[in-house]
Amino acid sequence: AGVKKSFVDLAGHSYGITSDPLTQFSVVFSALIHDLDHPGVPNAQLVKENTRNAQIYKKSIAEQNSVDLAWEMLMNEEFEALRACIYQTEEDLQRFRQLVVNTVMATDIFDKELQNLRKARWETAFAKKESDDDSEDIAESEDRKATIVIEHLIQASDVSHTMQHWHIYKTWNEKFFLECHGAYKAGRAPTDPSVNWYQSELGFFDYYVIPLAKKLDSCGVFGVASHEYLNYAMANRAEWARKGESLVEEYLMTFDDSHRS
């Protein structure tokens, strides 16, 4: 991640992130832009449709497009003062861009190759015993951990509704369902999402959200707040197991009502 430790790491477990304002801003900026110009369908569908962006980017299509559009906007004359606040040197500019690119690319969670690489990096950095780091440069180890933590921070922000109060989770789950069902009705999805939405959400909690929350908890970057995120994720999973099937029926009625002429 190229994290610079210019100040004291007050959090103790932030791996230099809280000590580096440029890194902090890069993560916030990435969270703001990472779905810019999102087409409402996954990358696999863009490849299937052979869209212009699919021809340009090949992999992580929506994510790369978001970075390019946001970067082009940031370079406009009207944002000159903002750029001067973000970086003052060419080195900081390059570091800022690399942080943004890496962070936004981490939101492509459906690329299995990228996900496997991230899992391997996590295991290398956090699954080792403390004694394993004795022969490794401490700064290099901390920088590697910072890079991995940032990847997981942006992934958590991307699905943050799953780690908040039930009514927030339900609101955004419904919005996402309506988007996916709309894509299906428009011929831009191969299957009706309502058929598997209930089960797929349970699987999403079990195999992605809850393991992600546990990783954030174990690395300590959020301190005691990590327990809250994990608890919310598990509580929402349990509530969805009880109410999810009937909610999918409600979602369908909402969609039909909104599309009646």
Please report, to the nearest 10 degrees, the dihedral formed by the alpha carbons of residues 212, 217, 2, 22 taken in order: 100
Cα-to-chain-centroid distance, residue 196: 23
Give the chain's length.
261
> Mean pLDDT across the stretch 194-223?
94
The amino acid sitting at 89 is: T
Which residues lie below 8 Å from residue 64, measured CB to CB, with a gap of 6+? Answer: 53, 57, 105
Say what the pLDDT of residue 7 is.
40
Say what the pLDDT of residue 128 is.
63
231 and 138 Cβ atoms separated by less than 8 Å:
no
102 and 1 Cβ atoms separated by less than 8 Å:
yes
Counting beta carbons within 10 angstroms of the beta carbon of residue 115, is it exposed (0 to 12), middle (13 to 18) or buried (19 or more)?
middle
The rounded percent of the chain whose pLDDT value lies above 70 is: 90
Say what the pLDDT of residue 9 is.
47
Predicted confidence (pLDDT) at residue 127 exceeds the cutoff of 60? yes
What count of other Cβ atoms lies within 10 Å of the Cβ of residue 205? 21
Q: How does pLDDT run across 30-49, given as a tens digit for each residue?
A: 999 999 999 999 999 999 99
Say what the pLDDT of residue 133 is.
52
Predicted confidence (pLDDT) at residue 222 exceeds the cutoff of 50? yes
Q: How does pLDDT run across 181-197, given as a tens digit for each residue?
A: 999 999 999 999 999 99
Say what the pLDDT of residue 73 is.
98
Which residues lie below 8 Å from residue 74, measured CB to CB, with a gap of 6+? Answer: 82, 83
CA gyration radius, the chain: 20
> Mean pLDDT across the stretch 40-63?
96
C-alpha closest to that of 2 among 11, 54, 13, 15 = 15
Tokens at 250, concatenated: 């409600």
Q: How does pLDDT run across 62-112, given as a tens digit for each residue?
A: 999 999 999 999 999 999 999 999 999 999 999 999 999 999 999 999 898
Average pLDDT, rounded, for the chain: 90
Per-residue burial over 44-75, b if 16 or more Cβ lie within 10 Å, else e, is ebbbeeebebbeebeebbbbbbbbbebeeebe
Which residues lie below 8 Å from residue 104, measured CB to CB, with a gap of 6+? Answer: 30, 33, 34, 63, 66, 67, 154
Task: Give CA–CA dist 234/239, Å, rounded.
Answer: 9
C-alpha closest to that of 46 among 34, 62, 35 = 62
| pTM metric for this prediction | 0.87
Say what the pLDDT of residue 169 is.
98
What count of other Cβ atoms lies within 10 Å of the Cβ of residue 230? 21
